[in-house]
Amino acid sequence: MHESIPTRFGDGSLGHLSVGEIRAEIEAGTQAGATRAKVSPLTADELDHLFDIFASPARFSAVDIGDEVVLTYDGSGSKMIGARVQDLLIYEQMFGADSIELSHVDYSYKAVKTILPYEAQFMKDTQLVATVPVMYGAMPNLGLYSEPDGPTPNWSTLLPQGRVEEAREAQEQAVGLAVQDMVHVADAMWEAGADGIDFDTAGAAGDGDFLATLLAVEKIRARHPQMGIQVGMAGEFVLGMHGELTYDGVRLAGLWPEAQMRLASAAGASIFGPAINVKTDKTGAWNVARALTIAKPCVEKADIPVHMNVGMGVGGVPMNTYMALDAVSRASRACVDVLRVDGL
Amino acid sequence: MCGLRAAGDLVARMQINRRMRLPDAKAYVAERLGVTAPELSDPLVMEAVRGDHGLGRVTTFETLYPTESSAIEAKFNISRALDIPINCVERFSERAGLA
């Protein structure tokens, strides 16, 4: 075994650690995740397997033949190559994508609503030439409904002023508007022939953002029983920007992935994607061990497919623009081998 | 799972539309197509299976299938093969007067 192993840090930089240091990083990572989320650490076998993955100097790491999982995307295509339909077909034909996601560069439901007929036309046109499932994706992005971008007062400004009740009312108002927009877009996409809809970075603006997503999912499921609905989270726990919002009797502030998944499933989601944050000053091994520890209860208890978010700054993948293959492949393989996720 | 090169899109459909977890989705698709679950990821096996069932294949200048089902045509066959409704297939049928 090599004595000095090349290994990434959470900011993407490449370092070298001894095998002993790598093992220590993995053990520290799982303990950090267990303490933070109040869950059990990974088992000895799981830690040993992670060590095998990270103690290798190989450029690329992969799952065993037959263990491949499904990939979904939060927006596929670079949007810089020709028309969007071409971009999506590149993913299908050349990258072997299992699914593709039509999306707009202004990746928020509030923005998409204003150009919806064009987006729906693109969906219809794409469905005529694509074979793999085509989703439509955007973000709930509750903040866009507050001043100066939207009609409600800005709770981020009100909270530091101690105007808590006004801040809560503003968020509740924004939730109603966001739900309307998300359902409206989903209706149009279903009419245009979409296979499903993706709510990406749910919870980004806190518990109000997550509530808007859950309420939208519930309404869409009732209106379109056959529609695929994917919910991908923004972060590892739901921030209590409001603090008292509930769904199905459960307070949303402070929820970790297992509880997030349960509510998404109850609302009617088809696929749930936990997102575990990366610490850029820690190693990839530490971050992956921590991410798997936090996400493990979610995957074990899920009654719907779990597609772990494994990308820039989440799921153990470093936070930098052009992600190194060695880092992405190790994080991906770890999620499949250890968590037995249904997809990424 | 390599999408059209194997059976990734088919397994994805069972997750997206039927909320099946991966082992169940693989088992279902394998059973419907008469292959084993590991064979679903094998491009050699699946190229032939997809061709036989008209489920669409990757086209390049070396692999052309102008007389085979592709895109929306293939999705009609996918819907039948997997016994699942596919939204765009149903819309196409309605709008083309086939329903």
Sign of dihedral through CA atoms A286, A288, A289, A294? positive
pLDDT digits (tens, 9 = 90+) for A277-336: 999 999 999 999 999 999 999 999 999 999 999 999 999 999 998 889 999 999 999 999
pLDDT digits (tens, 9 = 90+) for A186-245: 999 999 999 999 999 999 999 999 999 999 999 999 999 999 999 999 999 999 999 999
Q: Helices A164-192 and B87-95 sit at what angle, rounded to 10 degrees?
A: 50
Our CA dihedral for B62, B63, B64, B69, rounded to 10 degrees, sits at -170
Q: State the CB neighbour count (10 A cutoff) for residue B45.
A: 17
* A127 close to B (CB below 8 A): yes
User: The domain spanning residue A183 has which CATH number?
Assistant: 3.20.20
CB contacts, 8 Å: A194 with chain B: 87-88
Q: Is residue A142 part of a domain?
A: yes
Sign of dihedral through CA atoms B80, B86, B90, B92? negative
* A114 close to B (CB below 8 A): no
Interface predicted TM-score of the whole assembly (ipTM), two decimals = 0.97
Q: Tell me if residue A101 falls in helix, strand or coil.
A: strand
E-assigned strand segments in chain A? 4-8, 14-18, 100-102, 134-138, 196-202, 228-233, 246-247, 250-251, 271-273
Which residue range forms the structural domain that includes residue A282?
Answer: 4-339
Instruction: Name the percent of chain A lying above pLDDT 90.
Output: 94
Say if residue A333 is exposed, middle or buried (CB neighbours under 10 Å; 0-12, 13-18, 19+): buried
Q: Most B CBs within 10 Å: which of A131, A261, A336, as the mutation test of the B interface? A: A131
* A130 close to B (CB below 8 A): yes
What's the pLDDT score for residue A214? 98
**Cβ–Cβ of A97/B75 closer than 8 Å?**
no
Residue range A97-110: mean pLDDT, rounded: 96
Out of A69, A72, A128, the one facing B22 most closely (by C-beta) is A69
Q: Is residue A164 part of a domain?
A: yes
What's the pLDDT score for residue A139? 98
pLDDT digits (tens, 9 = 90+) for A24-45: 999 999 999 999 999 999 999 9
* A66 close to B (CB below 8 A): yes
Q: Is residue A298 part of a domain?
A: yes
CB pairs under 8 A between A and B: 133
Q: Please give the mean pLDDT across all residues of chain A.
A: 96
Q: How confident is the model at residue A77 (pLDDT cuts 50, 70, 90)?
A: confident
Out of A92, A128, A271, the one facing B15 most closely (by C-beta) is A271
What's the pLDDT score for residue A153? 98
Give the C-alpha separation, A81 to B37, whole Å: 36
Q: Is residue A344 part of a domain?
A: no
* B68 close to A (CB below 8 A): no
Identify the closest residue of chain B to A226 by CA–CA distance. B17
**Cβ–Cβ of B8/A196 closer than 8 Å?**
no
Please give the helix or strand (H or E) that residue A334 lies within, else none: helix A325-334
From the CA of A303, how many Å to the nearest CA of chain B? 7
Give the C-alpha separation, A136 to A198, whole Å: 6
Give the C-alpha separation, A100 to A325, whole Å: 21
Q: Is residue A295 part of a domain?
A: yes
DSSP assignment of A155-217 equals HHHHGGGT-HHHHHHHHHHHHHHHHHHHHHHHHHHHHHT-SEEEEEEETTT-HHHHHHHHHHH
Identify the closest residue of chain B to A130 by CA–CA distance. B71
What's the pLDDT score for residue B79? 98
How far CA A79 is from CA of A5, A175, B70, in Å, comes to 37, 30, 24
From the CA of B56, how many Å to the nearest CA of chain A? 7
Answer whether B13's CB lies under 8 Å from B3's CB.
Answer: no
From the CA of A287, how many Å to the nearest CA of chain B? 25
Q: Is the pTM for the entire model greater than 0.90?
A: yes
Residue type at A282 in one-letter notation:
K
Out of A70, A195, A342, the one facing B87 most closely (by C-beta) is A195
Residue B72 is encoded by which pair of tokens? 């929306």
Q: How confident is the model at residue A339 (pLDDT cuts 50, 70, 90)?
A: very high
User: Per the structure, how many domains does chain A have?
Assistant: 1
